Structure 1
Amino acid sequence: MAFTKLSIKSTPAGPASSSQTHQETDIWAIFRALRDSRSMFELRPGHIQTLQAMLSFLRPGHGDTVFASNNEICRRVGGIDERTLRRHIDRFVELGFMKRHDSPNRKRYRVRSSDGHSISYGLSLTPLLERASELLSVAKEMENNRRDRIFLRKQILTRLACLEEHDPGNGLVSEVRKTLRRKLTIVEYRNLLTEVDAENIGMSTAVDAPETIKLPANDGQIVRHQSRSIKEQKDLEDKLTNEPPAIQKLISICDQAISFSTNRLHSWVDIENHARTLAPMMGIHANTFDKAKTAVGTEKASSAIFIILQLGKHIRDFGAYFHSITLGKRVQQFNPAVLLDRLSKTESIIA
């Protein structure tokens, strides 16, 4: 559809003034502005389609009045009912975007006198053109709000991904993701961003806080003291990392995995057998589980299956996550006991 520019002629009120002001307006730019901001005026897509069909009847130099009959307008819209067309026109008249100039016989036409004066009977779109600046401003404001909401949403999702990576069991992540399913205002998005930022700052502070080292009085013992402290700390971390979690603790917290078991699990053999049953259901190949068992041990590999299933929707790809914490780059960070503690705290908060 071609872009049509209409000349709007306005005559001053004084009889002595014969000058006229011409203002060229892009009628389709106004139409797009109203289309994009239709929710502000409670207009439905059907209203916009009717207006588009009516605008297509206008021709340059022939004014801003639609002379087409209702039947012709209905046909151009796509075959809508005439009663629907009348309701659409009534709505535009009510909003002040259109005026009816009815002839005595209700026909739509134009008559001209010999001196150039004319009378137009039909549907006048002059009010729509006169509100061009208002519509363009509203449409621009709505577009800016839409872009700002998208930008804030992406910021929140980025911070949630960072938070989820360091703490998969964090309760705030699931809560915020549920909130993001709704259509939010800019203020609500900003409040969520502030809340997630505060959580990220608190976590980074807890993780990165330096430990205070008490130095001995004798300077000659400093090197030996630091060396011994580092070795003892490393041994302690290795012990905590390699220590399997308690069976009862694993069973009580990971209720999702237990719900698939028909028998009670009493030993690590029972847990391993059940984990082997769950792994293919989660997209984890049996060979991958065997490799993980060889690399990190039966307890950690089986615990990983239970914990991943318990985390559920917090993990996008079970197979990739299992490989990462048992065979990949995050194997040194995976500590089942710590994750179970976090899951236990999260569930107690939700409860």
Structure 2
Amino acid sequence: MQLDHVTTPFGRRTMTYAMLADQITAAEIDDDASVDKWKIYQALCEARPRLGITDRALAVLSALISFYPKAELAAGDSLIVFPSNAQLSRRANGMAEQTIRRHLAVLVSAGLLTRKDSANGKRFARRSRTGQIDEAFGFSLKPLLARADEIRQLASEVEAERLHMRRMKERLTICRRDVIKLIETALEEGATGDWLSVQDEYRAIFADYPRKPLLEAVIAALDEIEFLRENILNQLENQLKTTRTSGNAHENERHKQNSNPDSLIESELRLEKTQGRNPDPLDRNDVEPAVREIKSASTGMGQGGEAGSTRQQGEIPDGLGQKPFPLGMVLSACREICDYGPGGAISSWRDLMGAAVVVRSMLGVSPSAYEQACAVFGPENAATMIACILERAGHINSAGGYLRDLTSRAERGEFSLGPMLMAQIRANGPGERRVG
């Protein structure tokens, strides 16, 4: 088809092939086509990322649309608005006229407006004697009507992408929460496996995660974290199945292990045997103060006290609390305690318990409070409690009172040592563990 006339821009502005194509598209509108001007503007705001226009350009377009008197853009009308830059500035919240001209050029380049310039470049309208507009020069809104279906389609696609992005972020958040809590559970329950390495793998996934990620970055992180979660679940599930199939044999093994409440710490004895070490009398002297304190809490003997007791010198009673946490996990959470070990390092539970006695006295914890903690938590976990209190010594007014409170809460079933360790590990962050 041929246009009745082609409008070229005034002054030094050049005519482009895109401008000609926009005018041809606007001329092909059906005679009965119409659209609500504010609904198409709302769809345009949704489709803005696809059209490459800014929010400031949309503010100028909103001001232009407000000058069109009717609620609908209809093909039978001229659809030309002709406000001056000063009028546009007032309706665009005082935007500078130079800025308005720049954004008008953006809207024309995007194919949302077409110019119909007069001979002198001014915007005005000629009216008949009856007051009707015979001819107007300004900006034509016909491209909005011509591209209404395209704009709606782009708006729906942008909305679908936004919804998909929100769902992917929700899945990522849930998966991250699952992984963190599963790792915490594995550490608290003492599940076999290198869970600290799993934590490092989790951190590596989000090391380069952007602050405002694109959809591709979210999907990539989601794939990796879901794979990690699947591996964790498989490992924990296999351990649960192994525990169930072992049945009573496992319980009997534990019963035999703890049948003698006056024996030395069996985990340390097993460690020494597997490493081919023989107990050194000097090593026993390092932990002798802790032994004496624990014995005084559990034997009930006086100063004379050899009658009625079958315990040998240096034996440590098992506590009534849960089994000890891995020593590496304790030292990862409580790094300050290493300075009080033999030679400034801790390589065994025996070293940790000896260091705890020194720290207990330094913090002002009474022997009776420490003895009560040993009876409730067990000697290893009581030493771990002292190490945790040392980490937060600057925030605790009375270390002895704090230890007694935690002990009484544990007796009532209101406190567990695992979450306290995990919180300290998170507070420390990744770092080098000082294990001898």
TM exceeds 0.5?
yes
Q: Which residue of 2 aligns with 1:268?
A: 356
TM-score (norm 2): 0.53
Equivalent position to 1:192, from 209, 217, 221: 221
Q: Which residue of 2 aligns with 1:300?
A: 384
Alignment check: 8 A CA contact 1:30 1:136 kept: yes
Alignment of 1:122 with 2:151, yes or no, is no
Q: Which residue of 2 aligns with 1:171?
A: 200
Deviation at 1:154, TM superposition (A): 1.1
Alignment check: 8 A CA contact 2:205 2:224 kept: no
Q: Which residue of 2 aligns with 1:242?
A: 323
Alignment check: 8 A CA contact 2:89 2:97 kept: yes
Alignment of 1:136 with 2:152, yes or no, is yes
Amino acid paired to 2:54? R
Inter-CA distance 129–203: structure 2 relative to 1 (3 Å threshold): same
Alpha-carbon distance in structure 1 between the residues aligned to 2:98 and 2:38: 26
Amino acid paired to 1:183? K
Report SS of the residue matched to 1:188. helix
Alignment check: 8 A CA contact 2:125 2:133 kept: no
Alignment check: 8 A CA contact 1:111 1:120 kept: yes
Q: Which residue of 2 aligns with 1:319?
A: none
Alignment check: 8 A CA contact 2:116 2:140 kept: yes
Q: Deviations over 1:115-164 (max 9, x none)?
A: 99942211112112211122221121111111111111111111211111
Alignment check: 8 A CA contact 1:245 1:336 kept: no
Structure 1: any 5+ residue segments left out of the alignment?
1-9, 14-19, 216-225, 277-288, 309-322
Which structure has the bigger radius of gyration? Answer: 2
After superposition, where does 1:48-127 map in structure 2 within 5 Å?
Answer: 48-60=58-70, 63-111=78-126, 118-127=134-143
Report SS of the residue matched to 2:163. helix
Structure 2: any 5+ residue segments left out of the alignment?
1-25, 185-195, 260-265, 268-321, 342-354, 365-369, 393-405
Inter-CA distance 214–134: structure 2 relative to 1 (3 Å threshold): closer
Alignment check: 8 A CA contact 2:52 2:110 kept: no
Alignment of 1:231 with 2:231, yes or no, is no
Alpha-carbon distance in structure 2 between the residues aligned to 1:235 and 1:137: 73
Deviation at 1:48, TM superposition (A): 1.5
Deviation at 1:104, TM superposition (A): 2.0
Q: Which residue of 1 aligns with 2:242?
A: 211
Q: Which residue of 2 aligns with 1:285?
A: none
Q: Which residue of 2 aligns with 1:35?
A: 45
Q: Which residue of 2 aligns with 1:221?
A: none
Equivalent position to 2:55, from 39, 45, 51: 45
Inter-CA distance 55–244: structure 2 relative to 1 (3 Å threshold): closer
Alpha-carbon distance in structure 2 between the residues aligned to 1:73 and 1:53: 6
Q: Which residue of 2 aligns with 1:222?
A: none
After superposition, where does 1:324-343 map in structure 2 within 5 Å?
Answer: 327=410, 331=416
Deviation at 1:86, TM superposition (A): 0.6
Inter-CA distance 295–87: structure 2 relative to 1 (3 Å threshold): farther
Amino acid paired to 1:243? P
Matched pairs, number: 288
Q: Deviations over 1:253-287 (max 9, x none)?
A: 458x54xx9x93331145568999xxxxxxxxxxx
Report SS of the residue matched to 1:167. helix
Report SS of the residue matched to 1:21. coil
- Give identity over the alignment, percent: 20
Deviation at 1:74, TM superposition (A): 0.7
Inter-CA distance 112–249: structure 2 relative to 1 (3 Å threshold): closer
Q: Deviations over 1:205-226 (max 9, x none)?
A: 11121229999xxxxxxxxxx6
CA RMSD of aligned residues (A): 4.6
Deviation at 1:31, TM superposition (A): 1.4
TM-score (norm 1): 0.64
Report SS of the residue matched to 1:107. coil
Deviation at 1:71, TM superposition (A): 0.5
Inter-CA distance 275–88: structure 2 relative to 1 (3 Å threshold): farther
